[in-house]
Each structure stands twice: as structure tokens, then as C-alpha cells.
Amino acid sequence: MYSEAAMSETIEVVAEGGVTSARGFVAGAVRARMREDWDKLDVALLYSETPCTAAGVYTQCNVVAAPVVITRKHLADGKARAVIANSGCANAATGERGTRDAVEMAQLAAARLGLDPHEVVVASTGVIGIFLPMERMRHAIEAVELSAGGGLAFAQGIMTTDTRPKQSAVRFGEYTLGGACKGAGMIHPNMATMLAYVTTDAPVAAPFLSRTLKDAVAVSFNMIDVDSDTSTNDMLVVLANGVAGGEEIAEGHPMASAFASALTHVCTELAKAIVADAEGGSKVIEATVVGAASAEDARLAAREVVRSLAVKTAVYGHDPNWGRVLAAVGNSGCRMEEAKTGLWLVDRDGHELCLLENGSPQPLAAGAAKPHFEALEVRFRVDLGLGKEEATAWGSDLTEEYVRLNSLYTT
Amino acid sequence: MYSEAAMSETIEVVAEGGVTSARGFVAGAVRARMREDWDKLDVALLYSETPCTAAGVYTQCNVVAAPVVITRKHLADGKARAVIANSGCANAATGERGTRDAVEMAQLAAARLGLDPHEVVVASTGVIGIFLPMERMRHAIEAVELSAGGGLAFAQGIMTTDTRPKQSAVRFGEYTLGGACKGAGMIHPNMATMLAYVTTDAPVAAPFLSRTLKDAVAVSFNMIDVDSDTSTNDMLVVLANGVAGGEEIAEGHPMASAFASALTHVCTELAKAIVADAEGGSKVIEATVVGAASAEDARLAAREVVRSLAVKTAVYGHDPNWGRVLAAVGNSGCRMEEAKTGLWLVDRDGHELCLLENGSPQPLAAGAAKPHFEALEVRFRVDLGLGKEEATAWGSDLTEEYVRLNSLYTT
């Protein structure tokens, strides 16, 4: 279980940090007009001066974009050294030509950097069903300038409908770990995909890196919901170049748990940033489920609360309809006994307001729940009363603006 | 598989028919102010002059309203003879008092009708977490007038945010089968619950009735989506009183398949009526998946297309972003191979427009897809190219009005 308290002893936040906070990483981005109708940084490159161990997690969607297929192959040996990413075109549902284009993106970046194409991670995000403008891609990959201060440009280069770049970095002992991501939802028009890249100058054994990444994702990116749609292009890759020296970190190493905390912290911050910047979202819903019979039960229940459209709209409308939260828990498939279930609202200072205890509604002063619903973060705590497992999930609310952004745009 | 063609040979639609179309059923409803703030028919009673075989299906939500718990018990013997239902208060998350109130509702209806309470189906729909006004309930059950023309009043009595009553009835051979339902979604504020009641004057063996109901629901009520939330109170009950005579219908009876067609037809019409009247919905999305390796794969894919918020918003906005449909199929968990997948738009005359074939996007004339998206029913056909199974699902679109209805109301 991710614990803020345990974490703060071992890691320290790096203000404004990102993918180039760790030593030995350089990055940059250029405006390459991957779409005719925009003018933003849209081809981004990240490079490590030395070889890295690497691990990735990918979309579970059965329609997988070409760059995801290529990246999985390239990371199969647990090694990588660069990321080439574009926004504006997802290179998804593009058949064999799409596969050729993704392979060529890796080749072009490898040629530019003097690497083997298998050392290059390839990513695209944007409209589905159209082809990459490869001539522009070639020029862009030549033109991008790499620097140790290029982390922000990289974060901007992968943005689509995000309103702000999303970065996070921490120090743990001698090491630095930082990341950038772009936002969520199959939205406006299919432009949203979750892309995230994390770098560290710690030396990390590939199997440990892969395992730790899965654990970190389980409590961060897998616990957020914007609109319940998984993109064809979702990808999270972590690169560890070991430039800061020391013995390789693996299971049992004195720094193993500090590394896991650092990775979990950055993944959680990035995931929450996606929710906070959700298209058309006005606030963040946090659902903590305690007393679950299993960790999976806790995760199911927490995720369903932040997924439920009934909860999302109630939060948006400041409507203290807590029955919707209870019904979401009931719909999650978690083990529960209504007569043992409790529900609380929690404000930013940790004050709790009991809505339901042992399955019975609690008498409330008129208007007592309303301030909790008016806060920018609306926090629910559910106690299933069945065990000791817990989980937390974060979701955006659902607003008229979400519908407007996702419907009134016409390709 | 439900087939319109096979059906039309054996059954005939009864215009304006409902729960009292079958012989021997009477019904009615009264205004009883189950909520202070409305004035509509809100306590409804349905009664069969002779004993019935009965079967029900219920919410899969783990938070189950008291009336659902009581009805399950009462139908355990496959027999029932009356339905007492109210709108305005869901009697859900109401603890032991809620259970006592639901039991008393059955007792009151039984006393009025000279039945055993176990012969009474109890249903409530409305706000969660508040108690039934039992004094008003007592008066209402005394006051309701029952008649053979009371089907429409019954359908109106169970409505909450529905804008119109939902009824359907058919004749098959000597028999009549009709039903009424109310609409869907955990919405405005938790008022929506799906309730449906079907009656027939055919004599049907209880085990066959139960099995046939499950099959009918699998292709009708279980294939619709408004907002992906299952209510605490969902219930569908069918009563067969045999008043029209003849040998009891069971497996192998000459009328068995006509009865199954009739039940499937009425359930499908009622389910589609819910989608067409979805809160804030502006049109109906129909997704037919063919070529699936299994029936379950077909159902998963079809349901996910009509569930996806990205698809719902695209349809609302007349945005021909077919990539969202493909991604929804990919997210459904069905077996698929992108390179074998095809996608078509189908207009009301059955004309098809190919968007994707064998995983490759097809060249489209500019604007060719737009008229399909502008129709009141937007129909997608997906061919998975893996087998022979198929399924159809129906969903509403997602509009700003949905968000407004579900958020700006404040209790």
C-alpha cells in the first residue's frame, strides 16, 4: 500500500522537475504540423547519453496502435535509450502502412542519435484512422534540439487537448526520478490517449524495474478515470540510465523501497494531474475504500465510484446524493454486505461527515453535506467492514463542457 | 437468436396494448404523493383474477432495495398474482425499517385483494435513502380502482422521469402477452430504476417461463445502455394466468417457440422504448456485431459500443469519428483480430457505408458518413470476421441535457 507518511522520509520533491531532471537525459520538441490545423510543439524526442534498462506498460485495448506494437517489441529485451513521440495523429487503425510508418519513426530517431532502432521507443497520440505525415516527421526528427533543460518542451510536445504540461520529479538518496505525461480519455476527437515517460539516473535491474513499474501503475494510472474509455495508444515507459552510479538496484537492495516509493509518487502525481486536467472536468473525485476483504475488492469499489456517471454528475452539480456512491459500490462487483457498509465525506482538513453507518442512513443537519460537494476535491471514504484492504481512486466529474468538447467538434 | 422474420409469422402487434391486454388482468393507479413535490399517479396495482405462474429477474447490484429482496422471496415458488408498485421513493438503503415497509406493502395489497402476501410482487422506484410514507401508502392501496382498461394508468403510475408511458403487447395464436416498463439510468436524483411487468393469458409452466424470460432478457433489457449504472431496484416480472385456456406451454409444446417470440418481442420493444426516452438522450445508437467467435463475444462488443462515452458524444455531435467505435470494440474484451475487422454504417433503408474493411480504413467521399450520424437512429454494423455469432445492442447518446438533468437538480 502506498503511504504518504512512509514516502516523505525517503524522497523529496524536485520543483518543476520532469524527464530531464535525472542526470544524463536530454530532450526537446519542435513544431512540425502533424495536423494542418494547429501550431504547437508536436514532435518530441528524449535521449539518454548512456544505455538504459527499460520497462513499459501498454493499453489493454484489443485495437492497438502501430507505435505500441513496435515499442513492445523494442522493449522486450528490457533495454532502450530514446523516445520519439508525436501528437496530432495516433497512427492507429492504419493497417500495414501504419506499421511501416512507426518502424520508420524509430529508424529516423535512431539514425539521428546513432542508435540501433531497437533502442527507440515510438509513441503517437491524436486522431485515429489517418496516416502520419512522414515527410514532416523526417524533417522534425532532424530539427529537434536536445538539451538538459528540454523536459518541459518534451512534456508540451506530447500534449493534445491538455491545457497544461504535466510533470513531476523527486530525489531519493543520490538519485533523481522524473516524468511527464499527457492526458486522458478517448476524446476530442480521439485525441487523448495517455502517454507517460519516466526517467531516472539510478541503476535499476530490468526485472526489478518492470515489477516495480507494474506495482506503481496499479495504485496510480490504473486508479484514475475520466470517461472509462481505454485508448488504442496508451503507454507508460520508464528508463533507468544509472548515470548517478552505485550498485544496481534490485530486490533486497537498500534503496529498493526508496526507488519504489519514488516511482509510485511520480506516477501518482502524474495520474492525478491527468484527472485534474480532464477535458471538461471541473473537479476531482477521490474515493478511498477501506475494510475490504481483498485488495482487488477495494480497487474495484474505488474505481467504480469514480467511474459512475451518476456520481460524476452529482459531484459536478454539488448534489449530495450519496445513494449514488453506495449504488456504485454495489455495482462494482466487490464483496460487500450492505448492513456492514459505512460512507463518509472527508474535507481537506480530514474532517469526516458520516452519511451511512452499518447500512443505515445517518441523520444529517440540513445542508451539512453541501460544502463537501462544493470543494474542488470531493472525497468519499467507504468502509466495507469486511477486512483490512484498502485502495484509493481518482476521477473527474462530468460536465456539460465534456459533452460539448466531445460532440460539437466535427472532423 | 431473435429474428424479426421468424417472429412476424407467429405474432401480431396489439396497438396501444399493455399489462391489461391479456385476459383476466386488471390494473389501476392513484395519486398518493409519494413525494411532496409532485402530483402524478404514483401507486400502481396489477391483479390477476386467477392464480399465475411467475418468474422474475432482478438487479445485479450488490446494494439491493428492500422490495427486490421481498419480491425474490415471494416468487421463489414460481407463483404470484398481483404487483404493488410505487414511484417517488426507492425504499433502498433504508435498513430494517425499509424491509418492514416492503413487507407491509405486500400485506396491504394482499388484504385489499384477498390474497396471501406471498402472492404479491412489491416494487419501488425513486430517491434512495429515504423512507416510504406508509400512511399514504395505506390509503393509496385502498383507493386504487382496478379495471381491464387500467394498463395505461399502471404504466403511468410507475413512471418517474420518463416523459411517456412505455407499453407493448402482441397476440400469438389464441393468446395475448403485454407489458409496461419505466426508464433507465441511476439518474435525476437516483429516480430511474428499470421496472418492467409482463402479463399473459397463456398457461405457461413455471420452469419454462423462467428459462424463456432469461433468454428474452439476454437479448433485450441486457442489451441496452443509458449510463452504465445498474440501479438498486431493477426488476422484471412476468405473470401467466392461463385464462385463455389450453394445455400448459412447456418445452416441446407446439406454442413454445411462439410464446418465446412474443415475450422476446415485447421485452425488446420495452427495452428500446427506455433507450428512446433516455434522460437527456437525443437519439438511439444501434450496434450489431456479426462474425463473432462466440455469442458472449458478440454481446460484449455490441454493448461496449453503445456504452462508450466517446461513441455516445460523437453520435450526439454528428461527428463521424468511427475510430471511437473500433476502439470500443477493442475495449470490450471480445476476441478480435484488427486485420479481420470491418465496420459499416447502416441507414434506415439498409444501405451500408463501409468505413473499415479487414482492419484498413476505406476511402470515403467527403461528408459521406455525416447523414448517417444525423439520423435519429444511428446504426453501426461490426464484422469481427471470426465466426458466426451475432448480437445487437441499443444505447442513448450523451448530451449536455443529460448532464444538466443529472447535476443541477439539488435535493
B366-374 mean pLDDT: 85
pLDDT at B351 over 80: yes
- H-run or E-run covering A392: strand A389-396
Residues B238 and B55: beta-carbon distance below 8 Å: yes
**B187: CATH:** 3.60.70.12
Amino acid code (one letter) for A389: E
Sorted by sequence, the CB contacts under 8 Å of residue A119 that are 6+ apart come out as: A51, A74, A79, A80, A81, A82, A110
Closest by Cβ to B232, choosing from A128, A232, A330 = A330
Higher per-residue confidence, A153 vs B409: A153
Please check whether residue B323 touches A, CB under 8 A.
yes
Q: Tell me the C-alpha distance between B173 and A386, whole Å.
A: 54
Q: End of a domain among B276, B295, B326?
A: B276
Residues B204 and B79 in one domain: yes
Which residues does chain B have within 8 Å of residue A187's beta carbon, measured at their own beta carbons? 310, 313
Residues B232 and B292 in one domain: no
CA–CA gap between residue B408 and residue B189 (Å, rounded): 10
Which of A251, A276, A301 is where one domain is finished?
Answer: A276
Give the confidence band of B94 by pLDDT, cuts at 50, 70, 90.
confident
3 state SS of A105: helix
A182/A272 same-domain check: yes
pLDDT score, position B227: 67
**Higher pLDDT, residue B187 or B328:** B328
Q: Can you tell me whether residue A167 is helix, strand or coil?
A: strand
How far CA B72 is from CA of A333, B8, B97, in Å, comes to 20, 34, 18
Alpha helices by DSSP H, listed for A11-129, are 66-74, 95-113
Per the CB < 8 Å rule, is A323 touching B227? no
Residues of chain B contacting residue A100, judged by C-beta atoms under 8 Å apart:
none
Give the nearest partner residue to A327 out of B61, B95, B408, using CB atoms: B61
Report the residue of A321, A332, A378 to disrupt the B interface, i.e. the one with the largest count of B CBs within 10 Å.
A321
A211 Cβ partners below 8 Å, 6+ apart? none
Share of chain B above pLDDT 90, in %: 66
- The three-point CA angle A98-A60-A178 to 5° equals 85
Report, as residue numbers or ranges, the catalytic residues of B. 193
Least confident of A113-117, A284-288, A312-316, B152-156: A312-316
Kindly report the nearest CA distance between residue A192 and chain B, in angstroms. Answer: 11
Residues facing residue B356 across a β-bridge: B343, B361
Q: b/e map of A175-188 (b: 16 or more CB within 10 Å)?
A: bbbbbbbbbbbbbb
Cβ of B129 within 8 Å of Cβ of A322? The answer is: yes
Same domain, B52 and B164: yes
Read off the pLDDT of each residue in B346-353 and give the average, rounded to a whole number.
Answer: 91
- Pair A298, A264 in one domain: no
Whether A211 and A123 share a structural domain: yes
Find the CB nearest B406 among A127, A229, A313. A313
pLDDT at A406: 65
Q: Is the pLDDT confidence value at B85 over 70?
A: yes
Judgement on whether residues B180 and B325 belong to the same structural domain of the protein: no
Q: Is A92 on the interface with B (CB under 8 A)?
A: yes
Residues of A in contact with B309 (CB under 8 A): 186, 227-229, 406
pLDDT of residue B408: 55
> Which residues on B lie below 8 Å from A331 (Cβ)?
60-63, 229-230
Please judge whether B409 and A330 are an interchain contact, meaning their C-beta atoms are less than 8 angstroms apart. no
For residue B234, give how far its alpha carbon lies from the nearest alpha carbon of chain A (Å).
Answer: 12
Looking at A225, A254, A276, the residue that finishes a domain is A276
Q: How far apart are CA B236 and CA B199, in angstroms?
A: 11
A111 close contact with B: CB closer than 8 A:
no
Cα–Cα distance list, B282 to A403, B278, B317, B333 (Å): 13, 8, 10, 28
Asked if A173 and A261 count as a contact pair (C-beta separation under 8 A), the reply is no
Whether residue A257 is found in the same domain as residue A386:
no
User: Are B260 and B309 found together in one domain?
Assistant: no
**Over residues B330-356, mean pLDDT:** 92
pLDDT at B216: 95
The helix or strand, by DSSP H or E, that contains position A179, with its residue range, turns out to be: strand A175-182
pLDDT tens digits for A342-370? 999 999 888 999 999 998 888 888 888 88
Domain that holds residue A321: 284-407
Residue A185: predicted pLDDT: 52
Rounded Cα–Cα distance for residues A326 and A324 (Å): 5
A224-251: per-residue pLDDT in tens?
Answer: 877 666 677 889 999 999 999 999 999 9
Pairwise pLDDT comparison (A166 vs B318), residue with the higher score? A166
Task: Note whether B317 contacts A: Cβ–Cβ < 8 A.
Answer: yes
Q: Per-residue confidence at A188, pLDDT binned at 50, 70, 90?
A: very low
Round to whole Å and give the CA distance between B216 and B261: 8
- Tell me how close the Cα of B94 comes to any Cα of chain A, in angstroms: 6
Same domain, B259 and B318: no
Write down the pLDDT at residue A109: 98
**Which chain A residues are within 8 Å of B229, Cβ to Cβ?**
308-310, 324, 327-328, 331
Are residue B8 and residue B39 in the same domain, yes or no? Answer: yes
HSE-up of residue B356 (Cα within 13 Å, Cβ side): 31
* Listed range (A101-105, A242-246, A322-326, B198-202) with the worst mean pLDDT: A322-326
What are the tens digits of pLDDT across the range B323-334? 889 989 998 989
First to last CA, chain A: 44
**Phi and psi at residue A405, in whole multiples of 5°?**
-60, -35
Q: Under an 8 A CB cutoff, do A402 and B404 touch?
A: no
Cβ of A94 under 8 Å from any chain B Cβ? yes
For residues A166-189, average pLDDT: 83
**What pLDDT digit, counting tens, does each position of A202-226 carry?**
999 999 999 999 999 999 988 887 7
For residue range B192-227, list pLDDT tens digits in order.
578 999 999 999 999 999 999 999 999 998 888 776
pLDDT tier for residue A158 given thresholds of 50, 70 and 90: very high
Split at pLDDT 50, 70, 90, the class of A2 is very low
Count of domains observed in chain B: 2
* ipTM summary value: 0.72
Q: SS3 letters for chain B?
A: CCCHHHHHHHEEECCCCCCCCCCCEEEEEEECCCCCCCCCEEEEEEEEEEEEEEEEEECCCCCCCHHHHHHHHHCCCCEEEEEEEEEEECCCCCHHHHHHHHHHHHHHHHHHHCCCHHHEEEEEEEECCCCCCHHHHHHHHHHCCCECCCHHHHHHHCCCCCCCCEEEEEEECCEEEEEEEECCCCCCCCCCCCEEEEEECCCECHHHHHHHHHHHHHCCHHHEECCCCCCCCCEEEEEECCCCCCCCECCCCCCHHHHHHHHHHHHHHHHHHHHHCCCCCCCEEEEEEEEECCHHHHHHHHHHHHHCHHHHHHHHCCCCCCHHHHHHHHHCCCCCCHHHCEEEEECCCCCEEEEEECCEECCCCCCCCHHHHHCCEEEEEEECCCCCEEEEEEEECCCHHHHHHHHCCCC
Say if residues A301 and A386 touch (Cβ distance below 8 Å).
no
- For residues A330 and B62, the answer to whether their CB atoms sit within 8 Å is yes
- Tell me: pLDDT of A195 over 50: yes
Question: So what's the pLDDT on residue A187?
Answer: 39
* Residue of B131, B229, B408 to mutate, testing the A interface (most A Cβ within 10 Å of its Cβ): B229
Q: Return the DSSP state at A223.
A: G
Q: What is the mean pLDDT of residues B50-75?
A: 92
Report the mean per-residue pLDDT for chain A. 90
Interface test with B, best of A326, A384, A396 (most B CBs within 10 A): A326
The better pLDDT of the pair B36, B242 is held by B242
Grid cell, residue B16, equals 396501444
pLDDT at residue B406, as a whole number: 66
Q: How confident is the model at residue B259 (pLDDT cuts 50, 70, 90)?
A: very high
Dist CA B316 CA B178 (whole Å) = 32
Does residue B184 sit in the same domain as residue B249? yes
**If you average pLDDT over residues A31-57, what whole number do you get?**
95
CA distance B67 to B257: 32
**At A174, is the pLDDT very low, low, confident or very high (cuts 50, 70, 90)?**
very high
Tens digit of pLDDT for each residue in B388-400? 999 999 988 887 7
How many CA within 13 A on the CB side of residue A385?
A: 12
C-alpha cell at B233: 431496484
Beta carbons of A64 and B338 less than 8 Å apart: yes
Angle between helices B323-331 and B309-316 (to 10 degrees): 160
Q: Cell numbers of A401, please?
A: 463542457
Is B110's pLDDT higher than 90?
yes
User: Among B331, B360, B384, B409, which would you mutate to test the A interface (most chain A Cβ atoms within 10 Å of its Cβ)?
Assistant: B331
C-alpha cell at B274: 427506455
Q: Is B63 on the interface with A (CB under 8 A)?
A: yes
